[in-house]
Amino acid sequence: MLQGALFDMDGLMFDTERIGRDGWLAAARQLGIAIPETVIAAMRGTGTDACRALFNAAIPGAHYDEAHALRLRYADEVIRREGLPVKPGLYELLDWQGAQGIPAVLATSTRRETALAYLEAAGVADRFAAAVFGPEVRRPKPAPDVFLAAAAAIGAAPAACVVLEDSPNGLKAARAAGCKAVVVPDLTPAPPRAEGLWDACVPPLRDAVPVLAQWHAAAR
What is the domain range of residue 114? 4-15+85-218
Share above pLDDT 90 across residues of the chain, in percent, rounded to a whole number: 95
Q: In what helix (H) or strand (E) does residue 105 lie, and over which residues does it extend?
A: strand 104-108
C-alpha count within 13 angstroms, C-beta hemisphere, residue 13: 30
pLDDT at residue number 1: 86
My answer on whether 147 and 169 are in the same domain is: yes
* 132 SS3 class: strand
What are the two backbone dihedrals, phi and then psi, of residue 169, each rounded to the nearest 5 degrees?
Answer: -60, -40
Model pLDDT, residue 220: 63
pLDDT of residue 218: 86
Q: What is the mean pLDDT of residues 136-161?
A: 97
Domain boundary among 34, 52, 82: 82
29: buried, middle or exposed (CB in 10 Å: 19+, 13-18, 0-12)? Answer: exposed
pTM, whole model, 2 decimals? 0.93
Same domain flag for 78 and 97 = no
Q: What is the mean pLDDT of residues 167-172?
A: 96
In contact, 49 and 140? CB cutoff 8 Å: yes
Query: What is the total count of domains within the chain?
Result: 2
Q: Which residues are catalytic?
A: 8, 10
Whether 60 and 133 map to the same domain: the answer is no
Cα→Cα distances 18→77, 110, 189, Å: 14, 15, 14
CATH number of the CATH domain containing 154: 3.40.50.1000
- Residue 123 has a pLDDT of 98
Pairing of strands 4-7, 130-133: unpaired
Alpha-carbon gap, residue 202 to 110, rounded angstroms = 23
Residue 62 has pLDDT above 90, yes or no: no
Q: Are 161 and 180 in contact (CB under 8 A)?
A: yes
Residue range 8-50, pLDDT digits in tens: 999 999 999 999 999 999 999 999 999 999 999 999 999 999 9
The pLDDT tens digits of the residues spanning 107-144 come to: 999 999 999 999 999 999 999 999 999 989 999 999 99
In this model, does residue 219 exceed pLDDT 80? no
Residue 86 has pLDDT above 80, yes or no: yes
d(CA 153, CA 151): 5
